[in-house]
A and B are shown apart, each in its own frame.
Chain A
Amino acid sequence: MNAADRRPAERAAFRFLASFDAGANRLYGWRANPLYQSGTIVVACFLLMLLTGLWLVLFYRVGAPYDSVARITGDRWVGNWMRGVHRYASDAAVLATLVHAFRMFAQGRSWGPRALAWVSGVVLLGLILACGWTGYVMVWDTFGQSLAREGARMLDALPILSEPTSRAFTGERPLPPAFFFLNLFAHIGIPLAMGIGFWLHLSRVARPALLPPKPLLYGLVGGLVLISLALPIGMLPEASPFHAPAMVRLDLFYAFWLPFTRWLRPGPALLLMIGSALALLSVPLVTRRRAAAPPPSTVDEDLCVGCEQCAADCPFEAITMVTRPPGGRSELVARVDPARCVSCGICAGSCAPMGVGPPGRTGRDQLSAARAFLDDPARRSGEHVVICCDRGAERWGDAIAAEGAAVLPVDCAGNLHTSIIELCVRGGAAGVLVVACPPRDCWNREGPRWLLARVYHDREAELQARVDRRRVRVTYANASEATEVLAAYRGFVDDTRPLGAGGADPGEVGAECEPVAAEEQS
């Protein structure tokens, strides 16, 4: 995605996010950066809630909701911290969901084929909040009562119920166990519905990461247990229809809206809630690119050798292999589903014969651009070439260039074709430093992972063995990590200085990728 094509709000959000990411990388490293793992943290919290919830429901009584929760809370050995973990995990889930949503917005990953993930994510957030709502009502303390009454008040604004639901909480008669049974049913049923939401949310991505890396997972679970033990959860006074509590301890993650809506009439309060939900749902429309959306990948069937690598690498399952009509060069040919393709270009890097990729960003297009870059009279033999994405180049490209590097910005380092690296080395560069986003921060999901595999582990469209690996390095940095990139660059220059300038005729590189060569590979 072209950085210039992004709206000011998105650019500002991205700068903000990148700064936080950089700080978290320094503290936790990119592998365990919790900001990169916001989505998987939600899943981990969800599983934690399921486990603790299953235990808690064994001791919950719909006939005596408050007393049964008080009994659970009074059990210092298990009940108290189990309830604490259940509650704090649900809070952490909301927090992580908000970070995740902000991340997708800031990185412009909320529209086009990704709109389904955004919309299902908003629905999931709504379900999490609704589930928390029912969870607090289950306790039937002053906070639960406030939530129930406020919910009923807004529901009464709808002209569909002749009897106001608020009357259930007036004290005319005790609340029946059926109310708490229904509430418990909803509290258990909503997470089941969320399973469908999760499936939809992940339905357009290949190999979704569901859990955070182990150190982060253990840290999260351990931290929640520790905090539940150290700061044990308490009980608020029992709900009473005859006493309005002076002070309520609100869970701001779930009831942030309560202090505001209470001062509004039910109709406007309900409209505010519905309006907020619609505003969130409409983000894919608002963030849609003003200019034409980047076109989906296309396949040059004359070049395609049916190797299936692009289908295997596509992070969005947008490429399938179909049987080619008889007489073709291979049995199978790649086919791109434009409805699923986000134009990430990962396939461009995975195709050895350079036959697939978004128009203008295929391996061949990258090669042409790199040739033009190397043909620039300003280029000197023995230079170090730094290949990085547009976003990185925008932030620290000048600083690297000031160190003497030749900066070659590309759309995404993750869809870099390894031939470009070879072209640079054989064109006389002393070394090629590829600066990619940290793997969990890749806008195109799996770019750095495949890049590394192609450069060092012979994954298809691999960097040829003839390229001296000492002259090539892949490093990770986000757009705000200028210091880290400079340090990596200086270290790379020091390491490659004894090697001198690279060499050989760069013109040979293109021939490697001609269809004939690809045919030989197959």
Chain B
Amino acid sequence: MSASQSWRATVGGGTLALAAMVGIVHGSQVPVALDPGTRAVVRVAFSARPERIEICRTLPDSERLALPAHMRQETACEGRTAHYHLEVRRDGQVISADLLRGGGLRSDRQLYVFHEVAIPRGPSEIEVLLVRVDSVPPRGSAAPDAADEARAAEDPMRLRRQAGEVPPRLELRARVTLAPREVVLVTYDAESRRLLAVQAPPSP
């Protein structure tokens, strides 16, 4: 290779290497519009314990004594978790609806809700409605069983569980004004047992 060829190769090689490096830098930060629109988002996300639909019966002594000592309870309950209807409306129009059931293969775990719906930016009235679909037999109110109180006393866990269940009907109505790509989160507060609309805290 002559001197001039060598010089040309050095310059060309250096230029190409530099171009490759610059290409890596640019390829490393390519601006892409992942959310190109100007719409806002209603995000409904929460978990809540569904009501349990149970049929309880008092165990006869013979059946109870057949059980291991640590499993001998007055009542045995069998059942499943309730299903719920979730509906999201904007300015009166239904924009999302779903039938919710408990998580897990046996649907016996919490309700896990995650829905995102795009809506136009600007002011909106958002309504979220969560309604139990199944009817649940009244718990010891209409025709109280004589053993109800005793059973309740022996099963505080069941009572605690019932206290943590989502109410049969929840409703949220909120007026929000959303900027483009802003998100309003609708979630469930287990302590106050109601739905809440949460927006980003204002920038400092």
Interfacial residues, chain A to chain B (CB-CB below 8 A): 26-29, 34, 87-88, 91-92, 95, 146, 156, 162-164, 166-167, 170-172, 219, 223-224, 226-227, 231, 240-253, 258-259, 262
Contact = CB atoms under 8 A, between A and B. Distances in A.
A253 B199 CA distance: 34
11 contacts: A223-B21, A227-B24, A240-B200, A242-B182, A242-B185, A242-B198, A243-B183, A244-B34, A245-B34, A249-B32, A252-B30
A293 B24 CA distance: 39
A248 B25 contact: no
Given A26-B9, A167-B114, A259-B34, 7 more contacts: A26-B12, A27-B16, A88-B21, A164-B112, A242-B183, A244-B181, A246-B180
Contacts of A248: 31-34
B34 A162 contact: no
Contacts of A170: 43, 45, 114, 185, 187
Contacts of A247: 31-34
Given A167-B112, A170-B43, A170-B114, A227 B34 contact: no
B109 to A, nearest CB: 5
Nearest to A219: B17
Interface of B: 9, 12-13, 16-18, 21-22, 24-25, 27-36, 41, 43, 45-47, 103-105, 109-110, 112, 114, 180-185, 187, 198-200
Contacts of A166: 114
A227 B21 contact: yes
Contacts of B35: 244-246
A242 B25 contact: no
A219 B41 CA distance: 48
Contacts of B109: 162-163
Given A223-B18, A227-B22, A242-B183, A27 B27 contact: no
B104 A172 contact: no
Would you list the 9 A-B pairs with minimal beta carbon distance, nearest first?
A242-B200, A162-B103, A27-B13, A170-B45, A249-B29, A244-B181, A162-B104, A227-B21, A244-B35
A164 B34 contact: no
Contacts, number: 124
A92 B109 CA distance: 46
Contact of B24 (A92, A172, A219, A226): A92
Nearest to A251: B28
B137 to A, nearest CB: 26
A31 to B, nearest CB: 12
- Secondary structure of the B contact surface, majority rule: mixed
Contacts of B18: 223
Nearest to B9: A27
Contacts of A167: 45, 47, 112, 114
A244 B22 CA distance: 29
B9 A251 contact: no
Contacts of A259: 32, 34
B119 to A, nearest CB: 13
Nearest to B114: A164
A19 to B, nearest CB: 15
Contact of B28 (A88, A164, A219, A244): A88
Nearest to B21: A227
Given A91-B24, A92-B24, A259-B32, A242 B13 contact: no
A172 B45 contact: yes
A91 B32 contact: no
A88 B198 CA distance: 39
B28 A172 contact: no
B105 to A, nearest CB: 8
Contacts of A258: 32, 34
A240 B13 CA distance: 44
Contacts of A162: 103-105, 109-110, 112
B183 A163 contact: no
Contacts of B17: 34, 219, 223
A303 B29 CA distance: 62
A275 B4 CA distance: 51
Contacts of A27: 9, 12-13, 16
Contacts of A252: 27-28, 30
A91 B28 contact: yes
A244 B104 contact: no
A241 B185 contact: yes
Nearest to A156: B114
